Amino acid sequence: MNRPEPITPQGEPPVSLYARHEPVFNRRIDGKFRRIKWAIMVVCLAIYWFTPWIRWNRGPYAPDQAVLIDLAHRRFYMFGIEIWPQEFYFVAGLLIMAGIGLFLVTSAVGRAWCGYACPQTVWTDLFQHVDRLIDGDRNARFRLYKAPWGPAKIARRVLKWAIYLAISFATGGAWIFYFADAPTLQSQFWHGTAPMVAYGTVFVLTLTTFVLGGFMREQVCIYMCPWPRIQTAMLDEKSLIVTYKDWRGEKRGSLKKAQKNPGEYGDCIDCNQCVAVCPTGIDIREGPQIGCITCGLCIDACDRVMAETGRPRGLIDYATLDDAENEKKGNPPTRHLKLIWRPRTLVYFAVWAGIGFALLFMLGTRTHTGLSVAKDRNPPYILMSDGSVRNGYALRLHNMQNRPRAMELAIEGLPGAVMWTEDMGRAQAARVLTRTVAADATQGVRVYVVAPADSHGQAFAFTLTARGDARESDTAKTQFDAPGDE
Amino acid sequence: MADTTNSPASAGRRFDEATQTETVGHEWDGIEELNTPLPRWWLWTFYACIVFALGYTVVYPAWPGIHSATQGVFGWTSRGQLASELDAQAATRAKAVAGLADLPIEQLPQHPELMRAAVAGGAAAFKVNCVQCHGSGAAGSKGYPNLNDDDWLWGGDLKTIETTLIHGVRQPGDDMTRQSMMPNFGTDGLLDAGQISAVASYVLSLSGKEKPSAMTQAGAKVFAENCAVCHGDTAKGNRELGAPNLTDAIWLDGGAKADLVAQITHPHHGVMPAWGTRLDPVTIKMLAAYVHSLGGGEEFQAPAVATGAAPAEAATQAVE
């Protein structure tokens, strides 16, 4: 019974879940949203590019780069703000604000992040302009794509990829300047003396920019990025989306057909310009979809066609699903500004602004003096020959200002106790010691506290006060142990 | 039988009806296997791993023989790696070790860098050699001195600590070992029980642990005749002889009256190895620096006044 029994062959090949990538050759278009895109691209790239080169004088003891993430020295500088690692919650707070900010923007103006500000969008847009510059507009690029490989095609491709690579290097590579003094690092970079991690970072970021911006493009948005998925969950009937007003556009038909049969066709002349200009290659007339980054280029294209055919603009426009219902009934569209005044947006804004104010408040009231204490636990106390009791403490003094400061370390509580440090001897023991802490640095100090004979174990505290500035102080609570208390 | 109907064998590729997947072409009692090959990339990764593994067994020790395994063309061994890591570690310490070897220990405080290295090295060596008796916090216990306090039997400056470490305490065969021998006043019949009790009371009264009385007065007389020769007329001890200060708060062998009586009757004599025969000179210097750093270290004095504590600390430090 091991003779295989043949089964029916099927006529059709099995259905494949794999779809071959169809390259997008989007047509050049000019219009309101195209110009907004240009402006945002220029502003974003300029901010990204030039920020590391802004100087900011912090005196002789700190770097003069306005924005610097100094991983090597564990400092984060942003203009007048300096963050130490233990204050990283400020950065965490900023990241939380950025996250809620995305929600806020989505609630107020839909997927504006995707359409205008996302680096993937900005670089894809830039690279598509390079395509147009080298290969021509939509049809020329399509012809070249279909053409067999020959010297001319190879030359164009090599030139185009070289420009991709140059842009990738210039933009991806600029990332490293946020992490070290930019002029120094640039000089080191060209002389081959920069750290390996700098070259590695430039290599990786150049490569990812080249691949993501030059080749993967809209596939990142459609297949890789989680944000469109989150967006689909966040959009509601009051969210601004790019809408094809099918109640106005359908039934589609060419101008000729429409002229022949007045009243039968809608405003859409089926010219396909909205599809031709789309950077992600979708047809907006199929309704809201994950591939739509709401960049508005199809609105520009359609508006122009509507103008040319003498019809009112806005067949494709930013509108909400509620608007659609509303306009179908013949009511005028809601004004966009009015959309912002809804509870969801206001709650996001309140949370976002609340975190921002809390951060500003904390930033304004934080001190630049810090003290931490670790008590010796083995042994917990030492009985001295005169009957007094000694405890040891490892203190760390933080001077978080960009100048050396004299600081007073004092014992608070613990009657009769005095202290001395390793480098001074018990003879000079006192209740208040003065230490000079270097600029923007910490100082570790081992302190011996001795309390008179018959002292009991009790809680007390060290205080550290910057001399001449009573606001600048910190207190560290700790414990004093004595015999007979265990 | 499958839900499929028979057809000529020439049909070639066959597809399962329900899943539209090609089958491998065999059927047993109606059960068919779908042909779902591994993805190419997976297969190529697998082949690459095999190639890598073969190469790995060539360059690293791998194939077992009867007496030993193949050595591998890189010549790598785990022992060799350990040796090179130890060498690298030694190299990082080489500068400090060389500096310490040449430096007399009493000059160490003038070299803060070396001092820090010595204290760190001493802390590590202490954990290996000393904690068994002195405890991991160097706080000792009854019969084992606490090294954190300011009380020293033989002296607490760097040089003296180093000497004590090198020669040990009560080590036979070492001429310079720390040798102090309190007589067995009780068991050898030098004092009777009443005298011992009296002198113990007297000693306790010196640090205020007992009130003066007829008993302590009798004890004072016994002390002057028997004890003062080593412990001194004022009972403040003598570091030359290793005689402890009896007026302070620190009692190596216990500070209750029963402890004193026991100690006078038949003294406990602690010992410490002569570390000079067991450890290298640099490690001993490091240990001395570490013990000196624990909070009770004294300043080194020229030999003429080496018997006393530093003047500034004399008021609070006593000689036991």
Report pLDDT digits (tens) over A115-168. Answer: 999 999 999 999 999 999 999 999 999 999 999 999 999 999 999 999 999 999
Tokens, residue B275: 């570390």
The beta-carbon neighbor of A387 closest among B26, B249, B320 is B249
Residue A289 to residue A111: CA distance in whole angstroms: 12
A88-109 mean pLDDT = 92
DSSP letter string, A208-266? HHHHIIIIITHHIIIII-SHHHHHHHH--TTS-EEEE-HHHHPSP--HHHHHHSTTTS-
Residue A228 near residue A221, CB atoms below 8 Å:
yes
- Residue in A6, A382, A422 nearest the CB of B9: A6
Residues forming beta bridges with residue A395, ordered by sequence position: A373, A445
Of A239, A434, A420, A252, nearest in space to A323 by CA = A239
Q: Tell me which residue in B21, B27, B149 faces A384 most closely, judged by beta carbons.
A: B149
Tens digits of per-residue pLDDT, A163-182? 999 999 999 999 999 999 99
Q: How confident is the model at residue A261 (pLDDT cuts 50, 70, 90)?
A: confident
What DSSP assignment string belongs to B105-173? GGGGGG-HHHHHHHHHHHHHHHHHHTHHHH-TTS--BTTB--SSSS-BSS--SHHHHHHHHHH-BS-TT
Q: Are the C-beta atoms of A132 and A28 separated by less than 8 Å?
A: yes
Q: How far is CA B313 from the centre of its chain?
A: 29
Q: Which of residues 234-293 of B touch A (CB under 8 A)?
A: 245, 248-250, 293
List, as one string, the DSSP characters of B201-244.
HHHHHHTTSS---HHHHHHHHHHHHHTHHHH-TTS--BTTTTBP
Distance separating alpha carbons of residues B252 and A475, to the nearest angstrom: 38
Full set of structural domains in chain B with CATH: 14-75 (no CATH), 132-314 (1.10.760.10)
- The residues pairing with A448 across neighbouring beta strands, listed in sequence order, are A392, A420
- pLDDT grade for A348, boundaries at 50, 70 and 90: very high
Contacts of B316 in chain A (CB under 8 A): 384-386, 388, 426
Q: Write down the pLDDT at residue B310.
A: 43
Looking at this protein, which amino acid is placed at residue A306?
M
Task: Provide the pLDDT for residue B248.
Answer: 93
What are the structure tokens assigned to A102, written together? 């995305």
User: What is the Cα–Cα distance from B235 to B223, expressed in whole angstroms?
Assistant: 9
Given phi > 0 = left and psi -120 to 50 = alpha, else beta, which region is B307?
alpha
User: Is residue B151 within 8 angstroms of chain A, CB to CB?
Assistant: yes
Confirm or reject contact between B110 and chain A (CB < 8 A). no
ipTM > 0.90 for the complex = no
Q: Are B11 and A9 an interchain contact pair (Cβ–Cβ within 8 Å)?
A: yes
Contacts of B150 in chain A (CB under 8 A): 384-385, 426
Q: Which residues pair with A70 in a beta bridge?
A: A75
Q: Which of A286-295, A332-341, B161-170 has the highest mean pLDDT?
A: B161-170
pLDDT digits (tens, 9 = 90+) for A210-257: 999 999 999 999 889 999 998 888 888 888 899 999 988 888 988 888
Whether residue A148 is preceded by a cis peptide bond, meaning omega within 30 degrees of 0, is no
By C-alpha distance, the chain B residue nearest A390 is B149
* Shortest Cα distance, chain A CAs vs residue B57, angstroms: 31
Contact B7 A10 (CB under 8 A): no
Contact partners, residue A407, CB within 8 Å, separation at least 6? A369, A397, A399, A434, A435, A436, A437, A464, A465, A466, A467
Q: Which residues of A touch B (CB under 8 A)?
A: 1-2, 4-10, 14-15, 376-379, 382-388, 390, 392, 422, 425-427, 448, 453
Given an 8 Å threshold on Cβ–Cβ distance, is B149 in contact with A378? no
> A69 - beta bridge partners?
A76
Per DSSP, helices labelled H in A86-176 are 89-109, 112, 119-135, 138-146, 151-172
**Residues in A touching B26 (Cβ below 8 Å):** 2, 4
pLDDT truncated to tens, each residue of chain B (320 aa)?
A: 444 444 444 357 788 888 888 888 888 898 888 888 889 999 999 999 999 999 999 999 999 999 988 999 999 999 999 999 999 999 999 999 999 999 999 999 999 999 999 999 999 999 999 999 999 999 999 999 999 999 999 999 999 999 999 999 999 989 999 998 899 999 999 999 999 999 999 999 999 899 999 999 999 999 999 999 999 999 999 999 999 999 999 999 999 999 999 999 999 999 999 999 999 999 999 999 999 999 888 888 766 544 444 444 443 443 33
- Provide the pLDDT for residue B304: 53
Best mutation target among A17, A378, A385, A421 (most B Cβ atoms within 10 Å) is: A385
**A5 vs B27, B146, B248: nearest CB:** B27
* Cα-based distances in Å from B71 to A350, A371, B56: 69, 56, 12
Instruction: Say how far apart CA A411 and CA A462 lie, in whole Å.
Output: 5
Angle of the A182-191 helix axis to the A196-211 helix axis, nearest 10? 90
The minimal CB distance from A386 to the residues B4, B32, B249 is found for B249
Give CA–CA dist A389/A483, Å, rounded.
8
Residue A281 structure tokens: 């290659």
The pLDDT value recorded for residue B266 is 95
Q: Rg of chain B's alpha carbons, rounded to an integer?
A: 38
Which chain B residues contact residue A2 at CB under 8 A?
26, 28
All residues of chain A having their beta carbon less than 8 Å from the beta carbon of residue B41 are: none
Contact B148 A382 (CB under 8 A): yes
- Average pLDDT score over residue span A61-79: 92
Task: Choose among A319, A316, A310, A257: nearest CA to A283.
Answer: A316
Chain B residues with CB under 8 Å of A422 CB are 293
- pLDDT tops 50 at residue A327: yes
**Residues of chain B contacting A14 with CB distance shorter than 8 Å:** 15, 20-22
User: Out of A9, A382, A387, whose CB is closest to B13?
Assistant: A9
Q: Which domains does chain A have, with CATH numbers?
A: 32-232 (no CATH), 236-334 (no CATH), 369-480 (2.60.40.10)
Of all residues in chain A, the one with the smallest CA distance to B318 is A385
The nearest alpha carbon in chain B to A453 belongs to B249
Interchain proximity B148–A379, CB inside 8 Å: yes
CA distance A129 to A136: 9
Position B200, amino acid: A
CB atoms within 10 A of CB A66: 18
By percentage, how much of chain A surpasses pLDDT 70? 96
